[in-house]
């Protein structure tokens, strides 16, 4: 029965794909074609809204929210078009919640709120992906030639001079201290975490007005080495423990820091749920040798959830946030996992800057070096920021 249903879904997905493809081809010949938007009818907003359940709807009227080339601070990790991606349908999907709409992103309104203030994204490369999206959204909506980018160690600072505002990214992929904290040279085979220590990082962001955290991907391995003591001195005590347990310790250290150091009237707090990966096609009904490479359409099977997204980690954060709330610290958990799960088509795949030159063997088998973790921009992280925006202006 389940199998039949999956096959049916695949068929529907295929037919829909064909439709989009035909539509896109037809559109090339006829600039006014827009019938596919008929299925994109918008909903009325009625009060409280669950942004996190819904579906993707093709909408090339409103999306993309900016042009890849227009964003002066685009990252080569996300500039898929620049690195040769030619199917651009991935840029044109709107996330449609079931009972309402996500408000339109208004960069000037957000900048007005950020006047004289500082917003910081803290976490790993997926959070940096979201930060680059925010930078592009703001830069393209101000057209401000005065905007600048400054990098100082783990901190990258986008400054919007005309508003005296700063939108920053702080690299700390495990939130707490670890041997992966170097902003560039962080690819280390053996991961060591000081799971109780966050102050070295936190002192760079505690004073912010809006904080957006994430951490997940770097914990996704069975075990992790925890260090009691410091990296600089001898005599530290190491213990290998299950990663999930390490994650609990780290999230506890993070939450304790917020409880004692955050100015509750000043700082708004957000935590982004895990970003899914698409590295094994058998999870969505192609072969297991296949990954996000060559994928051009979202998964249409309702409730699709990949094996890479471990709900136990999500649960740790959720429980901790509930406890913080009882202590008067309000962190909003933005549950973007499900909506991103559907987007097997939206990763850079082979269309991004490669850190190391590709070998002959890799070139023969492109899926072997496809990036199925990060996201192309414009793309999925723009939607995360629209949802973030909706929570900043409830
Ligand atoms: C700019 O913002 C900072 C806080 O980020 C504040 O300390 C400073 O006084 C502001 N400067 C002006 C000229 O408004
Ligand atoms: C850049 O800043 C200067 C002074 O700070 C201002 O006069 C000018 O209008 C700004 N330029 C733009 C394009 O906003
Ligand atoms: C917390 O922030 C508010 C608003 O910015 C400010 O008025 C207050 O003095 C701050 N409290 C502390 C203890 O710094
Ligand atoms: C990728 O797509 C191209 C064009 O549709 C096709 O020729 C190629 O065989 C596909 N490769 C894989 C690994 O699916
Ligand atoms: C996040 O969303 C997923 C699927 O929509 C749900 O299963 C999960 O319980 C949610 N998690 C939290 C913490 O709200």
Active site residue 371: yes
Q: What is the pLDDT of residue 74?
A: 96
* Residue entry with tokens 């492109």: 366
Rounded-to-integer distance, Cα 1 and Cα 132, Å: 44
Do the beta carbons of residue 205 and residue 120 sit within 8 Å?
Answer: yes
pLDDT above 80 (res 370): yes
Instruction: Please say if the pLDDT value at position 187 is more than 90.
Output: no
Q: Look at residue 36 and tell me whether its pLDDT is greater than 50.
A: no
pLDDT digits (tens, 9 = 90+) for 310-367: 999 999 999 999 999 999 999 999 999 999 999 999 999 999 999 888 999 899 999 9
Among residues 125, 180, 243, 349, the one annotated as catalytic is 125
Give the confidence band of 47 by pLDDT, cuts at 50, 70, 90: low
Check whether 144 has a pLDDT greater than 90: no
User: Residue 16 — pLDDT band, cuts 50, 70, 90?
Assistant: low
Q: How many domains does the chain have?
A: 1
Let me know if 141 is a catalytic residue: no
273 lies in which domain range?
2-392
pTM of the model: 0.88
Residue among 390, 383, 393, 387 at smallest CA distance from 91: 383
CA atoms within 13 A on the CB side of 366: 9
For atom 10 of ligand 5, the residue with the nearest CA is 335
Q: Determine which residue's CA is closest to atom 10 belonging to ligand 2.
A: 146
pLDDT tens-digit series, residues 198-242: 999 999 999 999 999 999 999 999 999 999 988 887 788 999 999
Give the chain's mean pLDDT. Answer: 89
- Atom number in ligand 3 closest to CA 264: 1
Residues of the chain with pLDDT > 90: what percent?
Answer: 77
């Amino acid at each position: 029965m389940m199998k039949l249903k999956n096959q049916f879904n695949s068929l529907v997905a295929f037919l829909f794909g064909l439709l989009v493809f035909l539509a896109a081809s037809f559109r090339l010949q006829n600039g006014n074609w827009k019938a596919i938007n008929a299925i994109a009818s918008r909903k009325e907003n009625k009060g409280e809204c669950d942004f996190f359940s819904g579906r993707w709807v093709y909408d090339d009227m409103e999306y993309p929210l900016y042009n890849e080339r227009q964003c002066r601070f685009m990252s080569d990790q996300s500039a898929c078009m620049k690195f040769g991606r030619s199917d651009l349908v991935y840029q044109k999907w709107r996330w449609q919640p079931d009972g309402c709409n996500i408000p339109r992103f208004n960069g000037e309104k957000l900048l007005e709120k950020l006047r004289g203030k500082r917003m910081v994204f803290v976490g790993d490369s997926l959070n940096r992906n979201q930060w680059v999206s925010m930078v592009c959204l703001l830069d393209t909506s101000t057209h401000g030639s005065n905007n600048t980018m400054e990098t100082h160690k783990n901190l990258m600072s986008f400054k919007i001079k005309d508003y005296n505002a700063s939108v920053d990214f702080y690299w700390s992929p495990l939130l707490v201290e670890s041997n992966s904290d170097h902003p560039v040279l962080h690819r280390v085979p053996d991961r060591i975490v000081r799971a109780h220590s966050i102050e070295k990082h936190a002192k760079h962001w505690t004073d912010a007005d809006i904080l957006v955290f994430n951490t997940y991907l770097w914990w996704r391995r069975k075990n992790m080495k925890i260090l009691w003591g410091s990296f600089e001195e001898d005599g530290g005590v190491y213990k290998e423990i299950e990663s999930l347990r390490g994650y609990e310790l780290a999230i506890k250290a993070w939450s304790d820091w917020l409880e004692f150091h955050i100015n509750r009237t000043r700082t708004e707090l957000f935590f982004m749920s895990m970003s899914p990966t698409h590295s094994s096609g058998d999870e969505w009904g192609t072969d297991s040798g296949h990954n996000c490479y060559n994928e051009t359409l979202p998964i249409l099977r309702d409730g699709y959830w990949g094996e890479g997204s471990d709900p136990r980690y999500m649960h740790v954060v959720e429980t901790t946030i509930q406890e913080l709330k009882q202590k008067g610290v309000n962190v909003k958990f933005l549950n973007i996992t499900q909506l991103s799960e559907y987007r097997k088509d939206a990763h850079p795949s082979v269309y991004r800057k490669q850190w190391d030159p590709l070998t002959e063997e890799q070139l023969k088998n492109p899926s072997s070096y496809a990036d199925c973790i990060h996201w192309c921009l414009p793309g999925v992280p723009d939607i995360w920021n629209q949802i973030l925006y909706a929570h900043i202006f409830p």
